[in-house]
Amino acid sequence: MIRSAILNVMMGAARKAARGLVRDFGEVEQLQVSLKGTSDFVSSADLKAEKILRAELTKARPDFGLVLEEAGEIAGKDRSHRWLIDPLDGTTNFLHGIPHFAISIALERDGEIVAGVIYQPLTDEMYHAEKGAGAFVNERRLRVSARRRLEDAVLATGIPHRGRGDHPAFLRQLAAVMAATAGVRRFGSAALDLAYVAAGRCDGFWETALQPWDVAAGILMVREAGGYVSEIGGGHGMLHSGDILAANDHLHLQLGTLLRGAAA
């Protein structure tokens, strides 16, 4: 398959940053870890990966702005384009030796996500998508699942931890989804959750209080795989609200109705 130059840049940057993550994951007990916030850890691996991503992407497109998980927003001369970068989505998994984490890179053009990469280095699964060109994992085309009934569906979610989110509202949503579906999974990486929806491994995903870099690439991935993504309330400000619901066209409306009713 033929990929664009910009997608090749993104994939190359992800692979280069991943080498250090894989090395550090093998020595996870020796990592230096600092407390970044309530129940929110940042490792030296995070910072090293972000530095590599920033350097590689800036070298290729020096005028583009950046939105980085650790370094924050950096304006570029080109006001139309900016990178949204999560160097290690699934940090808590990583620090506990759980082999489920990813690098996520998205390119935004005039407020719209036009390219995305989600890379799981331990399995060498490179999820990638461009607007209008479809979504893929490595060389395989992705399609969301075709399940039509909630009772057959397996959903992914993110559970708000200590100091984050509205726990009572989430527990009401979880109880409603548990009663209506074939199962709920909590993997610990929103980027990979969305990639799994795009791949049809999960039939849907919902979460609140996420950051733009957590979901930007995954939003495009699901849409290019034929799925629907919105806020739980039905709006389209996911990058700003951090509120997201992704599923196929058969389940999206059903899930939204169920979740809104439970939260109310």
Q: Are both 5-141 and 150-263 of the same fold?
A: no
Task: Domain 5-141: give its CATH superfamily.
Answer: Fructose-1,6-Bisphosphatase, subunit A, domain 1 (3.30.540.10)
pTM of the predicted structure, to 2 decimals:
0.94
Residue 49: pLDDT over 70: yes
Residue 263: pLDDT over 90: no
| Rounded mean pLDDT, 97-117 | 97
Give the domain ranges of the chain.
5-141, 150-263
For residue 196, what pLDDT band results from cuts at 50, 70 and 90? very high
| Rounded mean pLDDT, 45-53 | 94
pLDDT at 28: 79
Residue 246: pLDDT over 60: yes
For residue 187, what pLDDT band results from cuts at 50, 70 and 90? very high
Q: Which CATH entry fits the domain spanning 150-263: 3.40.190.80, 3.40.640.10, 3.30.200.20, 3.40.920.10?
A: 3.40.190.80
For residue 27, what pLDDT band results from cuts at 50, 70 and 90? confident
Map the chain to HEC letters: CCCCHHHHHHHHHHHHHHHHHHHHHHCHHHCCEEEEECCEEEEHHHHHHHHHHHHHHHHHCCCEEEEECCCEEECCCEEEEEEEEEEEECHHHHHCCCCCCEEEEEEEECCEEEEEEEEECCCCEEEEEECCCEEEECCEECCCCCCCCHHHCEEEECCCCCCCCCHHHHHHHHHHHHHHCCEEECCCCHHHHHHHHHCCCCCEEEECCCCHHHHHHHHHHHHHCCCEEECCCCCCCHHHHCCEEEECCCCHHHHHHHHHHHHC
